[in-house]
Amino acid sequence: MFRRRLLDHFDRCRRDLPWRRDRTPYSVVVSEFMLQQTRVETVIPYYRRWLTRFPDWRSLAGASDNEVLLEWKGLGYYGRARNLHRSAKMVCGRFGGRLPDDPRQLRSLPGVGEYTAGAVASIAFGQTVPAVDGNVRRVLSRLLDVGDPTPARLRDEAARLIDPDRPGDFNEALMELGATVCTPRSPRCDACPVEEECGALAAGTVAERPSRSVRRRVRRVEYAVAVVVAEAPCPSDAAASHGGGGGDGGGHGDGGTGTPGYPRTLLVKRPPTGLLAGMWEFPALAALPDLGLTGTPGPRLDPVTHAFTHLRATYRPVIVRVAPAAPPPADHAWAHPDHLDEWALPVAQQKIGALLREWLRGNRRRASG
């Protein structure tokens, strides 16, 4: 009965999402990676652009790291982009261009854990395997009226309930119920197709299920950021390639001779591992002397904050005007402030870029007025 009610409701109310049309194993994997820690509404435009840019495993496997990061830019949790890219290379290499349908083999792909393997095996290949994400955990916790069900318990319950005739739809229907009806706050129990079977509703404990996990302590960090402004090319090196490239194979439209004109601003590439690996950012104020850049710190721009999973970062940008721009040090690049969208900049850095452009516009107005 549970299956029937859930699937009937899903058939009537399912959202028309782009990854539910023209499904291929590849498109299912892309959508599941993007949805791992991000809301459906945010994912939709990224998913569409991604499939236009990288329509299949081969095109993704053949892309550069930078091209991949640029397409993912703004979606956050960039490790997912790197894992998806590495997965595409494995599919094209080890698996001959075809995604395996066995959940165990799927789990050998980077970034594919138990949930994603279950979602992909059921949705793309019709295998009867459960897929328990955060939404499903909440639905089951309420259904069973258990505050903190173990992963094993959740897996067993989901495996017991799943419809072997429509396993992919069943899994998606559970996720959908959690996202649209059985929501964390103000669940719409009156609109729930399985209301009669809900243990927490009967016991009056819906609001307490699942029990809230202990909140992780969020570390606060502050960064003094140098927004370097170089007004003119270095006279001793006027023909050198200022900006762009950065030695990573390019993909930057303002590289070298692409965009004439100044000012330029300095970007640095983050290390290949760790938080925001391989992305670009404005350098730390404290790093300028080591780079041989001297300038007078000018006005401070507004602080920019960004919440990472266990980190709340405040960036305090300050304009530093420097003498003519020398060729960039290793892993650094001179970028055109109007073309920062061509760089893989994390969201907070894009905001600093916008503050820089605003400041430059104000400067121009002051200079001409």
Q: List the one residue from 7, 30, 35, 230 that touches ligand ADE (CB under 6 A).
A: 35
Catalytic residue among 32, 71, 172, 176: 32
Q: List the one residue from 65, 133, 145, 157 that touches ligand ADE (CB under 6 A).
A: 133
> Shortest distance, CB of residue 69 to ligand ADE, whole angstroms?
22
Cα–Cα distance list, 248 to 71, 255, 272 (Å):
16, 11, 11
Give the other-Cβ count within 10 Å of 4's Cβ. Answer: 11
- In the bound state with ligand ADE, the residue whose beta carbon lies nearer, of 131 and 344, is 131
Q: List the one residue from 13, 40, 44, 287 that touches ligand ADE (CB under 6 A).
A: 40
**Binding region for ligand ADE (CB under 6 A) out of 32-40, 91-99, 144-152, 278-286:** 32-40
Site size toward ligand ADE (CB under 6 A) is 10
The type of residue at 224 is: A
**Binding region for ligand ADE (CB under 6 A) out of 30-38, 74-82, 187-195, 254-262:** 30-38
> Shortest distance, CB of residue 133 to ligand ADE, whole angstroms?
6
Distance (Å, rounded) from C-alpha 163 to C-alpha 10? 13
Beta strands of 159-264 (E only): which ranges?
Answer: 219-230
Beta strands of the chain (E only): which ranges?
Answer: 219-230, 265-269, 280-281, 295-300, 304-308, 311-322, 332-335
Q: What are phi and psi of 81, to 5 degrees?
A: -65, -45
Q: Is the CB of residue 101 less than 8 Å from the CB of residue 143?
A: no
Beta pairing partners, 307: 312
Residue whose beta carbon is closest to ligand ADE: 35
Q: Of 76, 75, 97, whose CA–CA distance to 88 is shortest?
A: 97
195 is catalytic: no
**Subset of residues 160 to 219 that bind ligand ADE, contact rule: CB under 6 A:** 172, 175, 179
> Shortest distance, CB of residue 79 to ligand ADE, whole angstroms?
17
Query: Which residues are the active-site residues?
Result: 32
Task: State the residues that interact with ligand ADE by CB under 6 A.
Answer: 17, 31-32, 35, 40, 119, 133, 172, 175, 179
